[in-house]
Structure 1
Amino acid sequence: MSRSIQEKIDLTVNWLREKVEESNTKGLVVGISGGIDSALVAYLIKRAFPNNSLGVILPCKSNSKDRLDALEVAEGCEIEHVEVELSEVHDQLFDNVKKTMERNELLDENNNLRLSDANLRARLRMSTIYCIANSLNYLVVGTDNAAELHTGYFTKYGDGGVDILPIANLLKREVYEWSRYLGVPQSVIDRAPSAGLWEGQTDEKEMGTTYDMVDDLLEGKEIPKKDQEIIERLHKRSEHKRRVADAPPVF
């Protein structure tokens, strides 16, 4: 007999508490982006630790709508939250890196500066969250769902660099189901999934397929060959993200 959403949420909340107890930490922290995945996680950790959970909002050359949605999430679940503006830090570091590469003649037309820029934002955000988490002795909670983990749609050592992943086994459609059930703001539920990496960027546009297609594949359903090939290519290309760093055998 399948469990109800409430039962699954209760089990997840209990699991979060167990992880904190096992790690001898005091609570949980999550970066709130304004997207549905981080919104759901914020609602879950607030339930698990009403007095020891924290949301961190991290604008980094972001669309102002992202910040407003993140604030609505924080206020909706009544989680304590802080905001750290990273735009200036990002500009200084990225400009310094570019100038250093130019000076050493390492830049050419083959360099993917847009991806480098986007990944730096994700890693700066996670470094900031860990700085806060370490200060409080909290665990850092990740927001990746099953579809993102399968396709590698996360930044290595950015949003992928976390302590625990409470929604890692949820399909994207289940993320929406749980979010509606818990009362996540409708504006967040309605927005197109986006990592906010650059203006106009959306997850599905970047992946070249849809979350529905990924969910169907993970459920063992038949999907169009074109989508299957895209998803399989994404999965294979991102295998390194799902493993610990390789090391040579003992000789």
Structure 2
Amino acid sequence: MEGLELSKESLVKCENKIMESIVRVVELSNSNGAILAISGGIDSALVATLASRVVDVYGLIMPDSTSTDPDDIQHARELAESLGIDYEIIDISSIVQAIYRSRPELGPEECKLAYANVKPRVRMIMNYFAANLDGRIVLGTGNKTELCLGYFTKYGDGGVDILPIGDLYKTRVWQLSRHLGIPEHIVSKAPSAGLWKGQTDEAELGLSYKTADMILYAMFDKGLTREQIKKETGVDDESIDKVMQRIRGSEHKRIMPPIVKLDV
């Protein structure tokens, strides 16, 4: 879609703005640097690449034996080493299983999403434990498409100090990553939150990131009506409905918890 993909000049501006913002947050918080969960996927690779240029980054690779692809662990290690990022691998399987055992009457088949969301929440705790120990901030890896659609775990991967790529649609994440020379095997792999074996973002969302981005860009950036969106993008009503339903259903994830005002 015209306007969604960025020019080279705009990519350079994004690159510089993101790095400047990371430095600013680290300095304002009087921190020693940043903690970053490196998954082996494109979003964390992009954040790691930019952040490592301007602040001291420590990487946490946190696989779960039931769902993490071994290739992702290898890709995360290779990326960290290529960027000169110190890192450690923390297997979260035993922590996750301990939480599961606290509710033995339930099972992953009956409560699939609740079980899956334990993993990003455990990773959030490990991120902040390491950050507090070392006096660092936590870098998030969520992109604009995920944030708009609510495709993140509340108080999981949504629990961070700054979202460096939170204003980049997934389409632009791919663009900027290739612009920066991030390895193609990371850029081109099917996006996955690693919630369960074989899980992919697009299968769970029920539409491709490309389609979602066209709709979101037309809706929010260009202010088009439904009929205009259909005409300009060629997407169908079903896809638009899926996007709008996700936006409405995830509003609570994008705002602070409501405070009950008391007139006393």
Is TM > 0.5 for Structure 1 vs Structure 2?
A: yes
Q: Name the aligned partner's letter for residue 212 of structure 1.
A: K
Deviations 1:138-190 (A, max 9, x none): 11010111100000000000000111001011011110111112121111112
**Worse-matched range after superposition: 20-29 or 111-120:** 111-120
1:112 Cα deviation (Å)? 4.1
Greater mean alpha carbon deviation, residues 213-222 or residues 145-154 = 213-222
Query: Are 1:12 and 2:18 an aligned pair?
Result: yes
Question: Matched residue of 2:166: which SS?
Answer: coil
User: Once the 2 structures are TM-superposed, how far is the Cα of residue 76 of structure 1 from its aligned partner?
Assistant: 2.6
* Map 1:94-173 → 2, pairs under 5 A: 94-95=100-101, 97-99=102-104, 102=105, 107=106, 112-173=110-171
Residues of 1 paired with 2:24 and 2:237: CA distance?
A: 42
CA distance in structure 1 between the partners assigned to 2:135 and 2:243 by the alignment: 38
- Indicate the residue corresponding to 1:175 in structure 2: 173
User: 2:46 matched to 1:40?
Assistant: yes
Provide Cα deviations, 1:182-209, integer angstroms capped at 9, x if missing partner: 1211111121000001011000000111
> In structure 2, do the counterparts of structure 1 residues 159 and 82 end up closer, same or farther at CA, with 3 Å as the change threshold?
same
Is 1:234 aligned to residue 246 of structure 2?
yes
Alignment equivalent of 1:70, drawn from 73, 76, 80: 76
Find 1:202's aligned residue among 195, 200, 203. Answer: 200
Percentage of pairs with the same residue: 39
4+ residue runs of structure 1 moved beyond 4 angstroms? none
Aligned partner of residue 80 in structure 2, secondary structure: helix
Q: Following TM superposition, by how much is the alpha carbon of 1:77 offset from its aligned partner in structure 2, in angstroms?
A: 2.1
How far apart, CA to CA, are the structure 1 residues paired with 2:206 and 2:239?
Answer: 8
Whole-angstrom distance in 1 between the partners of 2:208 and 2:261: 39
Q: Count residues with an aligned counterpart.
A: 240
Structure 1 residue 70 displacement after superposition: 1.1
Q: Which runs of 5+ in 1 are unaligned?
A: none
Structure 2 residue aligned with 1:53? 57
Provide the C-alpha distance between the structure 2 equivalents of 1:71 and 1:204, rounded to a whole number of angstroms: 25
Please say if residues 33 and 57 of structure 1, whose CA atoms lie closer than 8 Å, have aligned partners that are also in contact: yes
Mark the runs of 5 or more structure 2 residues left unpaired by the alignment: 1-6, 219-228
Structure 1 position 218, deviation (Å): 2.1
Q: Which whole-Å CA distance do the structure 2 matches of 1:214 and 1:34 have between them?
A: 23
Distance between the aligned counterparts of 1:34 and 1:108, measured in 2?
28
Deviations 1:55-106 (A, max 9, x none): 11001122212211211221232222111111112112212x222xx3xxxx
Q: Which amino acid aligns with 2:62?
A: L
1:17-70: per-residue Cα shift (whole Å, max 9, x none)? 111111121211110111100110110110121xx2111100112221221121
Deviation track 1:99-137 (CA, whole Å, cap 9, x = no partner) reads: 2xx3xxxx599x842211110011001100110011111
TM-score (norm 2): 0.86
Q: Which residue of structure 1 aligns with residue 3 of structure 2?
A: none
